[in-house]
Amino acid sequence: MSAFFEIKNLEAGYGNSKVLFDVSLKIAEGEFVTLMGRNGMGKSTTIRSIMGILKPTAGEIYHDGTRIDGLASHKIAKRGIGFVPEGRHIFPNLSVRENLLMAQIKRGSANEWDVDSVFDFFPRLAERMSNGGDQLSGGEQQMLAIGRALMTNPYLLILDEATEGLAPIIRDEIWDQLGKLKAMGVSILIVDKELDALSELADHHFIIEKGEIVWQGDNQALMSNPAIHEKFLGV
Partner 1 sequence: MTLSSVRQLVVPNWPVLLIFVLLALAPVWSMYGGSDFTIRLLTRALILALAAVGLNFVLGFGGLVSLMHASFFGVGAYTVAILAHHDFNGDTLFGLPGTSNLLVSGPAAVFLALVFAVATGALVLRTKGAYFIMMTLALNQMLFFFMIALQQYGGEDGMQIYLPLHLSGYEFGSDSAIYYTVLIVLAFFVFLLSRLVCSRFGNVIRASSENEERLTAIGISPFHYKLVAFTISGAVTAVAGVLWAISQEYVSPADLSWIRSADLVVIAVLGGLVRVWGPLVGALVFVLAEYFLSDITVYWQLVFGLGIIAVVVLFPGGMLSVWATIRKINWGRAHDA
- Calpha distance 73→124 (Å, rounded): 30
Check residue 117 for interaction with partner 1 (CB under 8 A).
Answer: no
229 binds partner 1, rule: CB under 8 A: no
Binding partner 1 (rule: CB under 8 A), the pick from 46, 141, 142, 152 is 152
152 φ, ψ (degrees, to nearest 5): -85, 0
Residues 21 and 11 sit within 8 Å (Cβ to Cβ): yes
**Do 187 and 156 contact (CB within 8 A), yes or no?**
yes
User: Residues touching partner 1: how many (CB under 8 A)?
Assistant: 31
Query: Is residue 63 a contact point for partner 1 (CB under 8 A)?
Result: no
Pick the binder of partner 1 from 2, 66, 72, 109 (CB under 8 A). 72
Pairwise CA distance, residues 120 & 23, whole Å = 37
Whichever of 26 and 148 has its CB closer to partner 1, that residue is 148
Asked if residue 83 binds partner 1 (CB under 8 A), the reply is yes
Among 135, 137, 165, 210, binds partner 1 (CB under 8 A): 135
C-alpha distances (whole Å) from 13 to each of 52, 58, 115, 117, 146 are 13, 10, 37, 39, 27
Binding stretches for partner 1 (CB under 8 A): 51-53, 72-75, 77-78, 82-83, 85, 89, 91-94, 98, 101-105, 132-135, 148-149, 151-152
